[in-house]
Amino acid sequence: MIFMAEQETAVMEKAAEQTAAPAAEEQQKKAVRKKSPKPPAGDGAAATSMSNNNILLFNKYSWNVEILDPSLRNYLNLKPTVFPDSFRRTANKRFSKATINIVERLANDMMRGGTGGKVGGKIIRTKGRLQGKKFTVMKAIMQAFEVIQKQTGKNPVEVLVRALENSAPIEDTTRVRYGGIISNVPVDVSASRRLDIAIRNIAMATVVGAFGVKKSLKDALANELVMAARADVNSYAIKRKNEIERMARSAK
């Protein structure tokens, strides 16, 4: 009987030791966690910003450009990327254009079809020469940026941003019917539409400038961006902006 009692006591002590061991290990782990210092909250964000600063457009041009027009800051996307091409995955989402890189938006507007149309006294029929040819257009933009850097010595991304800011109209007109009378009424242009008009006019000026003359697409784009960035009245985009705002003022 004494031997049986000693066995039971030994078994109970062993079970108690096995139960207490995990608890002691858990307490030791908690103590180590408390002693170990937590990493600063901003380290991850700082590392991300540093990696974004190292990303260059076409591995050449910096994205660190200040947007001077406050109304365009939410729509003029300068997300760092080497080759801006999103394959328009967000085409069906509302206001998705604001999430597309501005260089890619310029390339998308330059891929014109061959429907034709009278622009600046010329009938433009490109026969679909640029329609759907994203790589061809991006190559022209890349070469145009090289020309801009040689001519001005500035960052071509900054020249593009200044050109868009200068060629974005503030006022426009719309037709309103009062009974049987139709009249033009001046209206303010939203920031999204201002940017749309500016990009479209620059792309149109590029196609017109390289149509029927001995000038390549890259030279026409570089010439238009440099003139628009300087607010030169010879720029097609600046002319269109002045014309739209003049019609709005006359309708007041």
Average pLDDT for 126-133 = 71
Does 198 or 40 have the greater pLDDT score?
198
How is domain 56-250 classified at the CATH fold level?
Ribosomal Protein S7 (1.10.455)
Q: pTM (2 decimals)?
A: 0.74
Please give the sequence-ordered ranges of beta strands (E in DSSP) within the chain, or none if there are none: 118-119, 122-123, 171-178, 181-188
pLDDT of residue 21: 52
- For residue 112, the one-letter residue type is R
Which of 25-39, 76-90, 172-186 comes out lowest in average pLDDT? 25-39
Nearest to 167 by CA among 77, 108, 247, 227: 227
Confidence of residue 125 (pLDDT cuts 50, 70, 90): low
* Range of 33-42, 109-118, 179-188 with top mean pLDDT: 179-188
DSSP string, 170-214: SEEEEEEEETTEEEEEEEEPPHHHHHHHHHHHHHHHHHHHTSSSS
What's the chain's average pLDDT?
Answer: 80
Confidence of residue 163 (pLDDT cuts 50, 70, 90): very high
Confidence of residue 24 (pLDDT cuts 50, 70, 90): low
pLDDT of residue 252: 82
- Determine the Cα–Cα distance for residues 236 and 192; give it in Å rounded to an integer: 20
Confidence of residue 86 (pLDDT cuts 50, 70, 90): confident
DSSP class of residue 119 equals: E
Confidence of residue 2 (pLDDT cuts 50, 70, 90): very low
Sequence ranges of the domains in the chain: 56-250
- For residue 79, the one-letter residue type is K
pLDDT in tens, 25-35: 666 655 545 55
- For residue 209, the one-letter residue type is G
What crossing angle do the helices spanning 102-110 and 156-166 adopt, rounded to 10°? 70
pLDDT in tens, 132-152: 788 889 999 999 999 999 999
Contacts of 60 (CB under 8 A, 6+ apart): 145
